Structure 1
Amino acid sequence: MVTGRIARWHEAGLIDAETRDRLLAHEAEHARPVALWAVFGIGALAIGLGIVSLVAANWEAVPGRVRLALHLALVAGALGAIWLREQRIAAASPWAVEALVFVTAALGLTFFGHLGQVYQTSAPLWQPLATWLVLFGPLMLLSGRGWPVAAALVGGAIYAAWEYNFALGELVRRQGGEEAPWTTLALVTALPLLFAPLGAFLRARSSRPAFWRRLEQCALAYGVAGTSILAALAGVGAFEGGPGPLDLANQLVRAAVGLVAGALVAVLRPGVSGRMAGAIIALAGLIVAGVSGANGIAVLAAALFMALWVGIAAAALVAGWRGVFQLAVAVIALRLIALSFELASDLLLSGFGLILAGVLVLSIAWAAWRVSRSFAPRREEAA
């Protein structure tokens, strides 16, 4: 496939014969036996599935304490391999260390579920998640190499924070006592944003910059996704009903954390990319502060949503993030299409209205495509 493309480049006059020959020689020397790897992968998958099937078929026949001991031995073995062989494994393949750390963290997380199954105990989900973060979070921070571990760490923290928010709030309401401490809970749900300044600070000061970059990106994605969801909830009037997790005071707490996190990213990672990443997080915080005021007002909530993504597109233009710019344009186009259907729901009941809706959708899609093609940055810098 690559050799055919090189031949076409030569035929089109883009490269000379000497360059073509050197490229072909390089590709031949570094060719990867994909088909052979696929066969090996299928064989390994078949063996793995067979082992899982055998274990599952005889699961109840194995005493619970034996299963827990084996599970714990696997965790200990993986930790020992990381402790004793991390540098040697990393020299051979950084992704091997990443896979080992991810598997170790996964084994640690599933151990809590296994423990509950054997001893027939239960607990709010945030408790084992928080315990897992305390025990395995340092491992992931100290040994992570890429996005799988970064996503697992930030995702686990987000899940634990929101589970704690819902569990404690529901408990207080069931007991009919004091109001739930929504402000404190709002602060807890905003804390994962602080992974962004942590990543921004360490990515230039560590031998594992890729991991810290991914950690920062995961936290930024959380801020943008959370703000987008809150704006969408405001559009359908979800903030009504008195004090609760979505009232104004709690949004202001989340907004304050977003502003602080954004400012810290901009300061800790000087340069265009750092300033733009910080600006996006801070903008998300500002919009969170205003979503309560747009509750039930579809146009205003949609305007806040699109303001966020217009800001992201502007930041991407300044920083040269081509993919981010194109994503922002696509999200804005989809939100415009959704808003048009929300505002013209009555017209959709007629054939003429459906025709107008189709023309509008095509027009928005064409405009988004033109904007994406015409204004997208030509180069892309790592965010």
Structure 2
Amino acid sequence: MASYASRLKQDIARWAETGIVDASTAAALLQDAEANERRSFSFGFVLAIMAALLLGASILLLIAANWGSIPRLVRVCGLLAVLFGGYVGGAVLKQRGDDALAEALWLVAASSFGASIALIGQMYHFSGDLDAALLTWCVGTVLAAFLLRSGPLTVGAVAIAMAWLILRGVENWGAGLPSHLYLVIALLLWLVSYWTQSRAARHLILLSLILYVALLAVQYEVLGLATVLAIGSAALFALHVRIPGEVERVIRLGSGFPAHCLVGFLAGLAMIQAELVDEGMSLAFAALATFGGIAAALYLAGRESRVLRSIAYVGFGLELCFVYAVTMGTMLGTAGLFLASGVLLGIIAIFIIRVERRIRTGISGHGGATA
């Protein structure tokens, strides 16, 4: 399948041939598309990152395997050398235009920093626990990402923060909240992602916030917090549909924000349905709300986002499986719920078809009048 940039170049060429844009505008559009394509992740870039991570892991495992036989001073100097060589060497390569190799070396250095925390702590018997080490690793990686303006390092920092959140949630299961400090960390990472221009980091942060609310709901009050998650996600989705330009200026996710809203909506309703599994009528209303929400998301934003469509189709299929599994002992109940859902979706489908037909008719009529 052709990439977005390839399809855009074909469209620009067609627009120039048909006279929609003039030659100078077409040339400017092509130049901008090529510049953005060079800045995007290429397959070679991904391979370089993977190779760097594997290389870093192999070096660290080699050191760890022979840790006891290496003199203490040599251990510390070796760890510092890997850090210095990774960050400084990456900076030199960045100045020469070797972006992929530079980012790869920075990731090796960041990985080495995390391993250094554990190995030096073990060597000098420093007191501490795993979540404190993860938090220190995250802070160091964020600082490096900010100073080097590195998108991959920002993504790495978010991944470390998510690991810290999950660890805190597991450690405190049934005994307390996931740490509210994560909200501060997420805000800091979000601001850094603007500086490093890392859209992938912002995607991960939004997913982690959904996870945070889910952990909070499971440990405390499922119905209340899950309802807040579902309604809040729906409200943000509606806000994006109502004022997409203003929301995009803040979020800067392209067409990806509605997909996150749909994930939050489905996650909230999934927890609600799990809690209401023995409540027949309430469960039916929650299932209908899920089907209706999926249909609305497809109608309002499905055309612009292939990811949203995929999430919607998967969510629809899982919801059908869940409803059948819960009500399969009562075939009449299953049939009744499917009938009600089918009628509702049929009405929505008829409405969508008529609206889209009117839009197409209006566009054709306007074009004909103009001509």
TM-score, with length taken from structure 2: 0.54
Q: Which moved more, 1:323-332 or 1:188-197?
A: 188-197
Once the two structures are superposed, what CA deviation does each residue of 1:190-227 show, in whole Å capped at 9, x if it has no partner? 45654786378x3xxx6x64xx2112222233345666
- 5 Å matches for 1:84-163? 85=92, 87-89=94-96, 91-92=97-98, 94-143=99-148, 145-146=150-151, 148-163=152-167
Matched, 1:73 2:81: yes
Q: Cα–Cα, structure 1 residues 294 and 342, in superposed 2: closer, same or farther, change >3 Å?
A: closer
Q: Which moved more, 1:131-140 or 1:58-67?
A: 58-67
The amino acid across from 1:134 in the alignment is: V
Name the SS of the counterpart of 1:123 in structure 2.
coil
Work out whether residues 248 and 289 of structure 1, in 8 Å CA contact, stay in contact via their aligned partners in 2: no
Matched, 1:317 2:297: no
Q: Cα–Cα, structure 1 residues 281 and 72, in superposed 2: closer, same or farther, change >3 Å?
A: same
Name the SS of the counterpart of 2:302 in structure 1.
helix
- 5 Å matches for 1:1-383? 55=63, 58-83=66-91, 85=92, 87-89=94-96, 91-92=97-98, 94-143=99-148, 145-146=150-151, 148-165=152-169, 167=171, 180=176, 182=177, 185=178, 187-191=180-184, 194=187, 198=191, 202=194, 209=197, 212-223=198-209, 244=220, 248=224, 267=246, 269-270=248-249, 277-279=256-258, 296-298=275-277, 299=283, 313-314=298-299, 316-318=301-303, 320-344=304-328
The Cα shift of 1:73 comes to 2.0
Name the SS of the counterpart of 2:128 in structure 1.
coil
- What is the aligned residue count? 281
The amino acid across from 2:203 in the alignment is: Q
Name the SS of the counterpart of 1:60 in structure 2.
helix
Identity within the alignment, %: 17
Q: Cα–Cα, structure 1 residues 288 and 117, in superposed 2: closer, same or farther, change >3 Å?
A: same
Once the two structures are superposed, what CA deviation does each residue of 1:286-345 show, in whole Å capped at 9, x if it has no partner? 777778765621336666666775566456425x22244224312321332233223326
C-alpha distance in structure 2 between counterparts of 1:251 and 1:191, whole Å = 23
Partner of residue 13, structure 1? none
Work out whether residues 87 and 109 of structure 2, in 8 Å CA contact, stay in contact via their aligned partners in 1: yes
Q: Which moved more, 1:148-157 or 1:187-196?
A: 187-196
Once the two structures are superposed, what CA deviation does each residue of 1:59-79 show, in whole Å capped at 9, x if it has no partner? 322234432331122112222
Work out whether residues 79 and 104 of structure 1, in 8 Å CA contact, stay in contact via their aligned partners in 2: yes
